[in-house]
Amino acid sequence: MIKFLLEKEFKQIFRNKFLPRTILMFPVMVLLVFPLAANFEIKNINLCVVDNDHSDYSNQLVQKVISSGYYKLTSIAGNSKKALNQIEMDEADIILEIPANFEKDLVREQAAHLLISANSVNGTKGGLGSAYLTGIVTDFSSEVREKWVQSVASAKFPAIEIISQNRFNPHLSYKIYMIPALMVMVLTMLCGFLPALNIVGEKEAGTMEQINVTPIPKFVFILSKLLPYWIMGFAVLTIAFGVAFLVYGLIPAGSLGTIYFFAALYILGISGFGLVISNYSNTMQQAMFVMYFFMLILILMSGLFTPVNSMAEWAQYITVFNPLKYFMQVMRLVYLKGSGITELGTQFIALFCFALFFNLWAILNYRKTV
Amino acid sequence: MKQFLSFVKKEFLHIFRDLRTMLLLLGMPIMQILLFGFAITTEVKNSKVAVYDPSKSIASRKIIERVNSSRYFEVAKYLNDPAEIEHEFREGEIGLIIVFDENFETNLFHSGNGHVQLIADATDPNTATAVTNYARSIIMDYQQDLMQGMKVPFQILPDVKMLYNPQMRDAYNFVPGVLGLIMMLICAMMTSIAIVREKEMGTMEVLLVSPLKPIYIILAKAVPYFMLSCVNTVSVLLLAVYVLGVPVAGSLFWLVVLSILFVFVALSLGLLVSTVTQTQMAAMLISGMIFMMPIMLLSGMIFPVENMPLPLQFLSNIIPAKWYIIAVKDIMIKGTGVSSIYKELIILGSMVVIIVSISLKNFKNRLE
């Protein structure tokens, strides 16, 4: 019996003008466009310099800042008011203001002040921009110190040398971080939205009534609605792997088997969620809106764009019930770090529970009588 | 006029009777503000740290204590073997591992160079950079304290000032974007669906034969959504100010003018969509794909526009929300005067004119 039902579902999918193309194009488009736009990398910070000192040292400092590569010198303002105006016009992001007597203070008084003002409407940009700049200034002062102190005396200071190392993504590329997570988003959108629209579609078209009068058991009916999306999910995932490899040269560090295994669980869960929603909706518009509402919350709270650890504590508790979060973790861990199944125990249990929960709900809730 | 008002009343009834959708429409902005205000942040706090400290010295323990007591970190694990590092990262909990030298303390005080290694999980580049920077500054602070008593020559002391957003809260950056997103959702998406629904159900025919001019029928459809978005704008602003603590630094009057102008842009877009589509499904997909996605991605709401490759930056110029968000940031957060947003006002204004004239040209009095 299930064979015929599946045949019907696949025929419906392939006869639709729109669906097969979406299944093919959507992952490709998302993976091509999103990583380009979804970029938090902080670079090209526009710098405005106010140099009231015009000395050797102030020049050297400005040169050092520019050659660091983080900053783009957009203007040299005559006074701080003009510089502030630049920030208001969004032409500069950060001001480095060197006061008069900077060199004199540094050499005679052994300590000089300078002012860094960052536009922090975008907190991350302002924070990182001023942190880099402070770092460069500190470097500069120790360079100056070395030059002078060598000649003065061999005074020894307890110094700590800090070596930092960036694991798994040494070039700090944001794309690499986003791609595995974007695959999760694509899977969620396709395998969540389409089943949600499917049963409601049958309700609206009136064909649901016809199925209800057949001897098909509930379980078989729901299964026949789930399986096509399950298979479709694998196809979408494979396309996404292909794009990631061909366009970005990204190969998973862990095994593909692990990813497919978790994907199998995840797709079952999220399609089940879609079916639950379509059970409760009467029109496609309703199903669409409810799904949109949940998707927005689930995606924003999954750690796709911003880390879960940074969220407010109550928000972190809510994310315990977010299946996207777990699969997002799995994808990033396996793809980028090569984690194996033994290291992903929590995620396995969580995804397994979601799949079981939503599908049971969908089956129990589905009523043949309207 | 009386006829027009009764049409408006009919549209309101349409909205009020679909309780679920109306609740979503009014609840969505509140949800989004709460989400963006509390959940969506890139600030690093309580990042989990593991320590490998073979020196087991007083100096290293003091550093670990300082790291643990800072609000950015929480020391979660002590490793016994450097081989565990790889495994810790693979479990995904730990964001940073601090590795001390075996002779850390001796080296620090006698030869003047103790070694500390900061190994960050750089799969998320920004968090890695931030975490490394914070840990570095904690260790440097410790070193600075050790040197107290000895006067360090040639110091440059930078005074850092964070303009407009001293606590660096992400909410400042998101609130304007949420405003833009919600108005687009309500005005463009809902208006277009409402008009197309009449076409799909066949009731458009009935409306078109009524004595009211077709253009008024469309205007009557826009009025309730205009009111709804005014309600939502007010609720978003109230939530932003009183719950998130984002101030309205500039003039409230111009903020309102700007928002109304943007609502007009969104309404005219909705009108345009309704003239080119025949089914609700198509209207929904077009507004979803062409309006919502680009706003999330390209308007600078979440991701900075200047990071994008040039073709995308160029594309972002035709997105009305981008200009709206820039102007709201100027007025609401930076508190600059109206003179700084002339450009945005003019761009939004001309967008309304262009879109309305295109859709009027497309608008048909007859159904084919």
Place of tokens 């070193």: B143
Instruction: Specify the 3-state DSSP secondary structure of A164.
Output: strand
- Could you tell me which residues are beta bridge partners of residue B115? A161
Contacts of B179 (CB under 8 A, 6+ apart): B233, B236, B237, B259, B324, B328
Distance CA B142, CA B133 (A): 14
User: A3: buried, middle or exposed (CB in 10 Å: 19+, 13-18, 0-12)?
Assistant: exposed
My answer on whether B133 and B280 are in the same domain is no
Q: Which domain holds residue B96?
A: 47-163
My answer on whether B105 and B178 are in the same domain is no
* Nearest CA-CA partner of B11 in B268, B254, B269, B195: B195
My answer on whether B157 and B198 are in the same domain is no
Which token pair is B327? 């102007």
Residue B4 placed within a domain: no
Residue B98 placed within a domain: yes
* Nearest CA-CA partner of B312 in B320, B321, B300, B301: B300
Query: Min CA distance, B35 vs chain A (Å)?
Result: 8
Which residue in chain A is spatially nearest to B110 when comparing CA positions?
A158
ipTM: 0.74
Mean pLDDT of the residues in chain B: 82
Number of domains in chain B: 2
My answer on whether B218 and B289 are in the same domain is yes
Of A347 and B187, more confident: A347
Interface test with A, best of B85, B96, B101, B124 (most A CBs within 10 A): B124
In the prediction, which pLDDT does A154 show?
Answer: 46
| Average pLDDT of the segment spanning B13-23 | 81
In the prediction, which pLDDT does B365 show?
Answer: 62
Distance CA B249, CA B349 (A): 24
Residue B13 placed within a domain: no
HSE-CB for A116 with a 13 A CA cutoff? 24
The single-letter DSSP state of residue A215 is S
What pairing do the DSSP bridges indicate for beta strands B73-79 and A160-167? unpaired
Residue B173: its H or E element: helix B171-183
| pLDDT, tens digit, 9 for 90 and up, residues A84-103 | 888 887 788 888 888 888 88
Residue B16 placed within a domain: no
My answer on whether B120 and B83 are in the same domain is yes
Q: Which of B125, B143, B163 is the last residue of a domain?
A: B163
CATH number of the domain that residue B83 is part of: 3.40.1710.10
What pairing do the DSSP bridges indicate for beta strands B47-52 and B73-79? parallel
pLDDT higher than 80, residue A299: yes
My answer on whether B301 and B239 are in the same domain is yes
pLDDT higher than 80, residue B280: no
Residue type, B288: G
In the prediction, which pLDDT does B126 show?
Answer: 78
My answer on whether B95 and B211 are in the same domain is no
* Closest residue to B108, CB basis, from A158, A306, A312: A158
Instruction: Specify the 3-state DSSP secondary structure of A261.
Output: helix
Of A238 and B37, more confident: A238
pLDDT higher than 80, residue B168: no
Residue B31 placed within a domain: no
My answer on whether B126 and B198 are in the same domain is no
Inter-chain residue contact B168 with A120, CB threshold 8 Å: yes
My answer on whether B201 and B154 are in the same domain is no
pLDDT higher than 90, residue B225: no
My answer on whether B363 and B298 are in the same domain is yes
Residue B35 placed within a domain: no
Q: For the sheet with B96-100, list strands across it.
A: A160-167, B114-121, B96-100, B47-52, B73-79
Does B248 reach chain A within 8 Å, measured CB to CB? no
Query: Min CA distance, B5 vs chain A (Å)?
Result: 27
Out of B203-212, B292-301, B359-368, the most confident range is: B203-212
Which chain A residues contact residue B28 at CB under 8 A?
293
Inter-chain residue contact B173 with A119, CB threshold 8 Å: no
Which chain A residues contact residue B118 at CB under 8 A?
162-165
In the prediction, which pLDDT does A15 show?
Answer: 82
My answer on whether B221 and B289 are in the same domain is yes
Place of tokens 């109550």: A314
Residue B41 placed within a domain: no
Distance CA B6, CA B297 (A): 40
User: B82-100 burial by CB neighbour count: b if 16+ within 10 A, else e?
Assistant: eeebeebbbebebbbbbbb
User: B166: buried, middle or exposed (CB in 10 Å: 19+, 13-18, 0-12)?
Assistant: exposed
My answer on whether B274 and B324 are in the same domain is yes
Helical spans, DSSP H, in chain A: 2-15, 19-37, 56-67, 80-88, 102-104, 123-152, 174-205, 207-212, 218-248, 256-280, 284-300, 313-319, 323-332, 345-365
Residue B326 placed within a domain: yes
Query: Min CA distance, B211 vs chain A (Å)?
Result: 30
Distance CA B7, CA B355 (A): 24
Q: Which of B163, B186, B219 is the last residue of a domain?
A: B163
Q: At A9, is the pLDDT very low, low, confident or very high (cuts 50, 70, 90)?
A: confident
For Cα atoms B151, B152, B154, give the angle at the middle one, nearest 5 degrees. Answer: 130
| Average pLDDT of the segment spanning A247-253 | 88
Q: Which of B101, B131, B163 is the last residue of a domain?
A: B163
